[in-house]
Amino acid sequence: MSAAMDFTRRLRSVSDKDLPRLREHFLEPAEAFDPATSADHLFFPLEMTWYYGEPIWHELSEPQRLLLNRLSFCQSYYSTAVAEAATNVLNYEAALRTLIDGDPEVALYMAREVVEETTHIEAFLLVIRKLLGHHGIRLDQLRAANASLGMACWYAIAHSLLGWLRRDLDYYYFTRFALNVNQKTVERCAIDEPRMHPLVRTLLKNHAIDEARHMQMSRATGIAALARMRSPWAKRIACWAFAHFAASVFIGRHRRDGRLTRETRIRTLELCGVPRPRAERAYAEWRGRVNQPVDPPLVHAGRKYYWKQIVAYIDALDVSERTRASMKRIVRRAYHDAAAPEHVDGVHALEFDELRR
Ligand SMILES: [Fe+2]
Ligand SMILES: [Fe+2]
């Protein structure tokens, strides 16, 4: 365990340097954020705003479009806060187990991520509450519109149960990588959005830097966990489960879309003042690619980025070529649009530089 997890020492030394500045990086910008300064600033990448470019988008007034952009931010970051609370449950379970029979130094880094995520959650909640208040919307209304939130409980329960059965949280870190990549794609596009509110940009940039480290933890732990699995069957099941999970995580429109996503998108449009029947029709047209068969360029390039990262991860795993090919096939079925080579559709995957404080 110890040698394979040595990378956590490096991650912890980076975190040690950031720790005294957690308040400065997260709570201070969130506290300083004044929604009255929102003017026509955006809070979410314009092209990733739900329904962007659709007929309903053009039917909305400019203030309604701004509201839809801000609600896309609130829904996305409230979901992030809830997902981070779920990961904290699992991070601490991993720390607990590692303290009992693993390397205590590794356990301390696992617990450290809990401290960081707790501050992230507090900062996001502060900004979301202020922004919603500015638009006369209650947090309860936002949560009632977000039908997907409960999924985070099931994620925590399923991995806790699996962790209890297997006596480790390896499967959790394995799936967490896909969530990290998806979140990074949206967040980096938000940071690069020219009209982004400057204080929120600062907050998101600080978050992206912490999350880049959390992603390294997921990636390296997943690779080490798979290499540790002795039974070929356990390995095969882990790879199959990871591929299906990675295929179900997405931005924009996706082959595997479900009731919870549909409800969240429809109810959020209703919060902008769109009557339910029109919101349902708008969703069906958007989802069915009736008016925009091809995604807006940023969404397309973002989906390509996700696909490339997942393929690179699969390539780094200690598995047979056959398993590798089958994993890619599973993800490709859901990401058929993103898996097309760049010379075929002319779209390049997003590229991100390393962020620095
Ligand atoms: Fe976070
Ligand atoms: Fe994180």
Q: What is the pLDDT of residue 174?
A: 86
**Which pLDDT tens digit goes with each residue over 106-143?**
999 999 999 999 999 999 999 999 999 999 999 999 99
Across the chain, mean pLDDT equals: 95
State residue 223 phi and psi, 5-degree precision: -65, -45
**Which pLDDT tens digit goes with each residue over 304-322?**
999 999 999 999 999 999 9
**Which pLDDT tens digit goes with each residue over 81-96?**
999 999 999 999 999 9
Q: What is the pLDDT of residue 2?
A: 61
CA of 214 to the centre of ligand 1 (A): 8
CA distance 44 to 298: 12
* Whether domain 3-345 has CATH 3.30.420.40: no
State residue 196 phi and psi, 5-degree precision: -60, 140
Q: What is the pLDDT of residue 59?
A: 98
* C-alpha distances in Å from residue 187, one per residue of 68, 101, 201, 202, 322: 17, 36, 9, 12, 34
Q: Of 33 and 3, which is predicted with more confidence?
A: 33
- Measured from the alpha carbon of residue 216, the closest ligand is 2
- Measured from the alpha carbon of residue 91, the closest ligand is 2
Q: How do the domains of the chain map onto residue ranges?
A: 3-345
The answer to whether the beta carbons of residues 35 and 248 sit under 8 Å apart is: no
CA of 88 to the centre of ligand 1 (A): 10
pLDDT at 1 over 70: no
Report how far Cα 227 is from the mean position of its chain's Cα atoms: 26
Task: Indicate the SS3 state at residue 65.
Answer: helix
CA of 286 to the centre of ligand 2 (A): 31
CA distance 309 to 216: 12
CA distance 170 to 163: 8
CA of 233 to the centre of ligand 2 (A): 30
**pLDDT over 90, % of the chain:** 87
Q: What is the pLDDT of residue 342?
A: 83
Both structure tokens of 141: 């209304």
CA of 350 to the centre of ligand 2 (A): 21
pLDDT at 41 over 90: yes
- Measured from the alpha carbon of residue 120, the closest ligand is 1
Count CB neighbours of 268 within 10 A: 23
CA of 309 to the centre of ligand 1 (A): 19
**Which pLDDT tens digit goes with each residue over 209-250?**
999 999 999 999 999 989 888 888 889 999 999 999 999 999
Q: Of 71 and 353, which is predicted with more confidence?
A: 71
